[in-house]
Amino acid sequence: MCNIITVKLKKHLLSNVDREEHSMKIDNLKKPGLFAAGVLFGTAGIKILTSKDAKKLYTNCTAAVLRAKSCIMKTATTVQENCEDIYADAKTINETKYNTEEVVLDSVDENEEA
């Protein structure tokens, strides 16, 4: 019985070793292939990125971003002005209310003294 288990275990271990060796062969071929593909795509990418059409695209995109920035800044300025107006109105309302309460309290104090 022990011999059967030992034989099966050896076969299992050998098959794992074979798998590792096989995968190592694939890994050994995979890395240089990936490097070569990266170099190829990198070289092609540089050629594409430095072309006249690409520069035209970059210019148009930059112009669009600048237009968007201008629009956003106008909106932000409008919102800021509206907030300043709201704040000023709120201060005026509070000052008026405070002065009115002060007058009412003064008149109550005068009535109590009399």
Domain boundaries, the chain: 1-50, 52-114
Percent of the chain with pLDDT over 70: 63
Rounded alpha-carbon distances, angstroms, from residue 52 to 57, 65, 80, 107: 9, 20, 42, 82
pLDDT tens-place string over residues 78-96:
999 999 999 999 999 999 8
pLDDT tens-place string over residues 40-79:
888 887 887 788 988 999 999 999 999 999 999 999 999 9
**Encoded amino acid at 110, one letter:** E
Rounded alpha-carbon distances, angstroms, from residue 40 to 11, 35, 53, 54, 55: 43, 9, 21, 19, 22
Residues 54, 48: contact at Cβ < 8 Å? yes
- State phi, psi for 57 to the nearest 5 degrees: -60, -45
